Amino acid sequence: MSNIVAIVGRPNVGKSTFFNRLIQRREAIVDAVSGVTRDRHYGKSDWNGKEFSLIDTGGYVLGSDDVFEAEIDKQVELAIDEADAIIFMVDVENGVTGMDEDVANLLRKVSKPVFLVVNKVDNAKRSEDAVEFYSLGLGEYYNIASINGSGTGDLLDALVEALPEKEEVEEEELPRFAVVGRPNAGKSSFINALIGEDRYIVTDIAGTTRDSIDTKYNRFGFEFNLVDTAGIRRKAKVKEDLEFYSVMRSVRAIEHADVCLLVLDATRGFDGQVQNIFWLAERNRKGIVILVNKWDLVEKDHKSMKAYEKAIRKQIEPFTDVPVIFISTVSKQRIFKAIETAVEVYKNRSKKIKTSQLNDVLLPIIENYPPPAYKAKFVKIKYIMQLPTPQPQFAFFCNLPQYVKDAYKRFLENKLREHFDFNGVPISVYMRKK
């Protein structure tokens, strides 16, 4: 369970540049994800071996310079509530502004670690100018230039030092299914329909995450924890439609789950916010089941379901091997099918395939369709094994791993999916030097 660090501040101080710099360094080293990351405002980073999730609040403010200050205040309050540490970014070119002072007033009351970061300090003169930020009353500050990265090392040293140690909670290892989605998609109704009149519940346990409710559930001879992100402390201050709010919530739930049941409202479609949550789960390598709720409210004929499903798959390319189930929490249509499918996906995610079986099935295919030669060099894949990780990852050992392109890795992934059922589960394919 990694810590969450939020970057706050008024528009145009360089939050996103800083965010991108931290994320890319991590992506370059640890997990170069094939395809584009669709969600620009959430990512994972690590420093000195300590991993944390990073949220750039800038991406969630609507409008440009004429941003409503109230929106920014709301975000800062949310960040204060949900994050483990806060980076407050200001800009030396503009000096202290009224909006900076507003944000500082909110942050001075906080007991969590707050790092005041003065951006765009790239020469001695600017370093002197930065002194005026002492007036914000947040103590020491860090001078950085996020465009070239100077100063970020000292900041990150201090940041990871201050992050609380997350105790690994050793509970019964029951699978965790998180119900996620945007507000009003029907997450609560889905859970109530499952649990409502059912006498299958074993116990209600207050979640280990301080803000999600876990219900231990026993059905089809299968026991699991259902993590409800819907009924989490509703804050009066927060307008429910704030995108940032839903994403903050989902981050915690997703990182803590094995399978995510992504509930969407059929009348609103697979919109940007639902996609954000989908890619969040995919990047965290979680099992995913898409539940299209309120299907009873949609005008439809015999072709509607196919067309709707096709439209969703188009938007989640290249990861299209995901179950899509049409449900209605009102009539309880396919509610239990949803859970059975989640159980299947959970099993797929923890599936281990014998090395001999992998090689018997895939090596002949690779022989018939070898990787394209690169600069007259031929790539020979000799051996395949599944890595001992919680989710499916495969290493293909070959002579020239650097010449295998993403397109061929996707071909290998598709073959793995064709021959071994990994429905609903992201797969990682690595090329290793043999």
Give binding residues for GTP as ranges. Answer: 9-16, 56-60, 119-122, 181-188, 228-232, 293-296
Give me the helices (H) in 174-303, please: 187-195, 243-255, 272-283
Dist CA 117 CA 9 (whole Å): 10
Could you give the CA distance from residue 416 to residue 410 in angstroms, rounded to a whole number? Answer: 10
Provide the residue type at 218 as one letter.
N
Residues placed in the known binding site: 9-16, 56-60, 119-122, 181-188, 228-232, 293-296
Cβ contact 429:396 at 8 Å:
yes
Q: What is the CA 316 to chain-centroid distance, rounded?
A: 15
Amino acid at 368: N
Distance of CA 318 to the CA centre of its chain: 17
How many angstroms separate the CA atoms of 268 and 421, rounded? Answer: 31
CA-CA distances (angstroms) from residue 42 to 58, 81, 117, 284? 11, 17, 19, 11
**Residues, the chain:** 434
Nearest to 200 by CA among 188, 187, 215: 215
Residue 55, H or E segment: strand 50-56
Q: Which H or E run contains 289?
A: strand 287-293
